[in-house]
Amino acid sequence: MRVVLGLDIGTSSTKALLARFDGTVIAEVGRRHEVDRPEQGLVEMDSRIWWDEFTTLTRELLERVPDAEVAAVGVSGIGPCVLLTDGAGEPLRPAVLYGVDTRTAEMLADVTAELGGEGAIRRRCGSALSTQAAGVKLAWAARHEPDVWARAARFTMPSSRIVERLTGEYVLDHHSASQTTPLYDVHENAWIPEWCERLAPGLEMPRLLWSGDPAGAVTDAAAAATGLPAGIPVTAGTIDAWAEGVSVGESVPGRMFLQYGTTMFMIVPTSEPTAVPGMWTTVGTHPGQPSVSGGMATSGAITDWWRRLVDGDWATMLAEAESSGAGANGLLMLPYFAGERTPIADPDARGVVAGLTVRHTRGDLYRATLEATAFAVRHNVEVLREAGVEVRELVGAGGGLLGRLWPTIVTDVTGLPQTVPSVTIGACYGSAFLAASLVEAVDITTWNPPSTVIEPDPDAYAAYEPGYRDYRELYEATKSVVHRLAERGRRSAPRGPDGGPRGGLLPGGPAGGSVDRSC
């Protein structure tokens, strides 16, 4: 039986699956893992997890489906991340994660000035600098860890690291490169040599490919480690949100893709590179597919935190939240439990719950978390529209779609219809589609056709309107106090046995099911 293998390395777990060339999923497996928080604002991961889980899950799939003949491999992973390796490909330090890691916040203004100001950066890169920008994370390592930097030869992200281990090729897909701001020109689809040398001196930059391009073939050594056939093609891969977008056919201007998971990611394809204040301009998985994207620092992570705090189960808490009704019986939450990425770009933002009384239940609080994420989506939509980017519909994927409450709330808050595809597994499914495309012609509309469309309820939209306006006002009203609290938290965070702060939101699960169900 000819199949393809799709894998995704997520914030909280790694997922892999085998699929036929018609999109039918034959088997899927997963492993949970954790991130490290050595200090407040620092979020890292031991990169050895990535290859260990890839080899383990691949062998498990092949044992489950002994007649499987894997024809190609597709990979994706969290990003933009930075893993520094030496000339032999050995990691020099833990990988620095995407925008949830805020170590570069104090560098942004200086680096912006060094490169000629925000306008100069936007003209070439499409986006201003933020803690999401992987290029500044490289600059941080060069300036703050000179001993490590002296031995650094290359950098990879989770997907490109797996590609390198499978094929021996040092490559990066254009989309991931477009999130290494300010090192990549979104108009020229190329590295900016002078800025690469200024921020990442001496580092060899990877060869650029599009996500669905063949990066190389599985080597004999990789075949021995994984059980895969030697010589089969491997895609260049990409960041998980874009692979997940591929899985639902998101490459239509005006259609916003929503990734329901530990964090929430949003992608809107555009006809040309468009700079939107507070958001990220990137290129897509294929040539001629520019996009504007945004991301929340937490979403499903908050619901998982609350579920664990009250020792509840998903089904019961979703039922309680549904019974709470629109407006959560007078509760309003800001979902900035790990700072926030777009559109406010505030690493010192924090979660706020307003309106609490002794009458409120755990269902009310659970409902408030779902509504908070929906308000955040609408905030991003409004910023996009103010910049002239059309958003007329939504399409979702990820574990949060397993229950319909969360996407229904998002639809009602935004007033936008939302398509739910037949398969909502996520990024590993999109990676499998890209792998299948290496071997034969496949069409995503038949690979993963729509299942249903959630239409907005005009009455619910009107009921949410006052809450959304209060949501926008609550952040501004509490910002100065919250920033002071964030500073105190940095000084007084309780230390765990490893010397780092205890607790932390990541990893977490989506609101509609455990994270193991979502890539």
User: pLDDT at residue 197 above 90?
Assistant: yes
CA distance 72 to 231: 9
What rounded mean pLDDT belongs to the chain? 92
Residue-wise DSSP of 328-368 = TTT-EEE--BTBB-TTT-BTT---EEES--TT--HHHHHHH
User: pLDDT at residue 514 above 80?
Assistant: no
Contact indicator for 164, 170 with CB cutoff of 8 Å: yes
User: pLDDT at residue 449 above 80?
Assistant: yes
Region for residue 117 given its phi and psi (left: phi exceeds 0; alpha: psi -120 to 50; beta: otherwise)? left
Q: Is residue 347 part of a domain?
A: yes
Contact indicator for 321, 362 with CB cutoff of 8 Å: no
Nearest one of 410, 264, 279 to 343, comparing CA atoms: 279
Q: Which token pair is 429? A: 């499914």
Q: Is residue 78 part of a domain?
A: no
Give residue 272's pLDDT.
Answer: 86
What is the percent of the chain where pLDDT is above 70? 95
Average pLDDT over residues 441-448: 91
User: pLDDT at residue 519 above 70?
Assistant: no
User: pLDDT at residue 516 above 90?
Assistant: no
Domain count along the chain: 1
Q: How many residues does the chain have?
A: 519
pLDDT tens digits for range 242-279:
999 899 887 788 999 998 888 898 999 998 888 898 89
3-state secondary structure of 158: helix
Most confident among 386-395, 488-497, 502-511 (mean pLDDT)? 386-395
Structural domain of residue 272, as residue ranges?
248-426+446-517
HSE of 177 in the Cβ direction (CA atoms, 13 Å)?
28
Nearest one of 354, 362, 358 to 314, comparing CA atoms: 362
Burial class of 469 by CB neighbour count within 10 A (0 to 12, 13 to 18, 19+): exposed
User: pLDDT at residue 503 above 60?
Assistant: no
Element (H, E) at 492: helix 458-492
Could you report how far apart the first and last alpha carbons of the chain are, in Å?
24
User: pLDDT at residue 389 above 90?
Assistant: yes
Element (H, E) at 450: strand 450-454
CA distance 445 to 454: 18
Strands (E), 199-242: 207-209, 214-217, 233-235, 238-239
CA distance 419 to 397: 9
Q: Is residue 43 part of a domain?
A: no
pLDDT tens digits for range 284-317:
999 988 999 999 988 888 988 999 999 999 899 9
HSE of 396 in the Cβ direction (CA atoms, 13 Å)?
30
Give residue 468's pLDDT.
Answer: 98
pLDDT tens digits for range 310-369:
999 989 999 999 999 999 999 999 999 989 989 998 989 999 999 999 999 999 999 999
Contact indicator for 156, 92 with CB cutoff of 8 Å: no
Nearest one of 122, 386, 384 to 269, comparing CA atoms: 384
Q: Is residue 352 part of a domain?
A: yes
The angle subtended at Cα 136 by Cα 132 and Cα 138, nearest 5°, is: 115
Here the CATH number for the domain that contains residue 253 is 3.30.420.40
Q: Is residue 397 part of a domain?
A: yes
Average pLDDT over residues 491-505: 49
Mean pLDDT check: name the lowest of 20-24, 191-195, 239-243, 415-419.
Answer: 239-243
Contact indicator for 211, 172 with CB cutoff of 8 Å: no
Under the banding of pLDDT at 50, 70 and 90, the label for residue 496 is very low
How distant is the alpha carbon of residue 166 from its chain centre? 23
Residue-wise DSSP of 251-311 = -STTEEEEEESSSEEEEEE-SS----TTSEEE--SSTT--EEEEE-S-SHHHHHHHHHHHT
Give residue 494's pLDDT.
Answer: 53
Average pLDDT over residues 203-230: 98
Q: Is residue 139 part of a domain?
A: no
pLDDT tens digits for range 135-194:
999 999 999 999 999 999 999 999 999 999 999 999 999 999 999 999 999 999 999 999
Average pLDDT over residues 413-421: 96
Give residue 493's pLDDT.
Answer: 62
pTM of the complete model: 0.83
Q: Is residue 420 part of a domain?
A: yes
Q: Is residue 384 part of a domain?
A: yes
Q: Which token pair is 306? A: 């609350």
What letter would DSSP give residue 66? T
pLDDT tens digits for range 76-107:
999 999 999 999 999 999 999 998 899 999 99
Burial class of 393 by CB neighbour count within 10 A (0 to 12, 13 to 18, 19+): middle
